[in-house]
Structure 1
Amino acid sequence: MKKFAIEIKWGIRYIFCYLAWAILEKTLGIYGENMSFYMLSSLLFYIFAGLIYSLALKEKKINYFNGNMDWKQGCATGLYMTIVIAILMPLAQASLHELIAPEFFENMINASKDKEGAANYFNLRSYIIQSIFFTLSIGMVISAIAAYFIQTKKQTK
């Protein structure tokens, strides 16, 4: 377990950042009167996600790999962190949609032209499943990119 302590710590930090972002979106009215900015706001969060992954990989490089980490080790670190995030995401989604913004689904359905289709898409079960799979896919992409920049560069002679 000690081997994955950094990934677990940063995975938990990611979830807290995700929930803080949701509170900011709620405060800015993104789940209500400013719903048209929801997609942009969601995309902007991934700037912070990249930063969190980069900081996690940098800490792993320094504290676990003694300052020498290759791309594969960085990707593996990112994968483990992504798995932690995916495991915690159902709890984060439930917290978001039950505590922070219970009006989210209703507002999204009401804003849609196809109410029946929207009701099938905008519900807690659907969002939990989507968030798990999206986390796994985007987490690996972010991990690969961050690992590329964090890896120890080979010295050329």
Structure 2
Amino acid sequence: MKKFGIEIKWGIRYAFLWILWLFIEKSSGYYEAKISDHALYSMLFTFIIIFVYYVAIKEKKNDFFKGNMNWKQGCVSGIILTMVIALLTPFCQIIFHKAIAPEFFPNMIEYSISKGNSAETAKNYFNLSSYILQSVFGVLSLGVVLSAVVALFLQTKNKK
């Protein structure tokens, strides 16, 4: 377990940052008055995601691999981080939708219908089980790509 301590630590930090971000979105009105801008505003969290992956893999390189990490080691570290985040994602979604913003789904359904979607389509998309699946698969796909790219930049270059 100690072997993956850095990934677990950063996975938990990611979860807290995400919950904080969702709280900021709610406080800023992106689930009510500014709901039309919600998707665009949410995309800004991508910069935080990139930062978390960078810092986590860099810490793994410096503290665990003693400054000498190849691409595969960095990529594996990022993928383990991704798995930790994917495991925490359903809990974050439940906390968010049950405790922080229970109005999110009704408001998004209403907004979606106002934009021409059917009520059935909106209800099938904007619900807890759908969002849990979307977020888990989104984390898995983005996390693997980010792991590979960040590891590429952080790998120790051969000195010749």
Name the TM tier (shorter chain): over 0.9
| Residue 78 of structure 2: aligned partner | 78
Name the structure 2 match of 1:102.
102
Give the letter for the 2:8 counterpart. Answer: I
- 1:145 Cα offset (Å): 1.5
1:2 paired with 2:2, answer: yes
Q: Secondary structure at the match of 2:26?
A: helix
Q: How far 1:146 sits from its partner (Å)?
A: 1.1
**Separation (CA, whole Å) in 2 of partners of 1:145 and 1:27:** 33
How far has the Cα of 1:148 moved from its partner?
1.4
Q: Does residue 115 of the first structure (1) align with residue 119 of the second (2)?
A: yes
Q: Please state if 1:47 is matched with 2:51.
A: no
Deviation of 1:41 after TM superposition, in Å, equals 1.6
Shift of 1:129: 1.1
Deviation at 1:31, TM superposition (A): 0.9
Alignment partner of 1:146 out of 146, 150, 155? 150
Structure 1 runs of 4+ aligned residues shifted over 6 Å read: none
Alignment match, 2:133: 129
Q: 5+ residue gaps in structure 1?
A: none
Name the amino acid aligned to 1:94: I
Q: Shift in Å at residue 153 of structure 1?
A: 1.6
Normalising by structure 2, what TM-score? 0.95
d(CA) in 2 for partners of 1:20 and 1:123?
21
SS at match of 2:141: helix
Give the Å deviation of 1:18: 0.4
Q: 2: CA distance between counterparts of 1:148 and 1:28? A: 36
Distance in 2 (alpha carbons) for counterparts of 1:56 and 1:36:
33
Identity %, equivalent residues: 53
Q: Which runs of 5+ in 2 are unaligned?
A: none
| 1:136 Cα offset (Å) | 0.4
1:99 maps to amino acid: A
Identify which range, 146-155 or 27-36, moves more after superposition. 146-155
Offset, 1:53: 0.6
Any idea what the Cα deviations from partners look like across 1:3-61, whole Å, max 9, x if unmatched?
00000000000000000100110011111110111111221101000000100001100
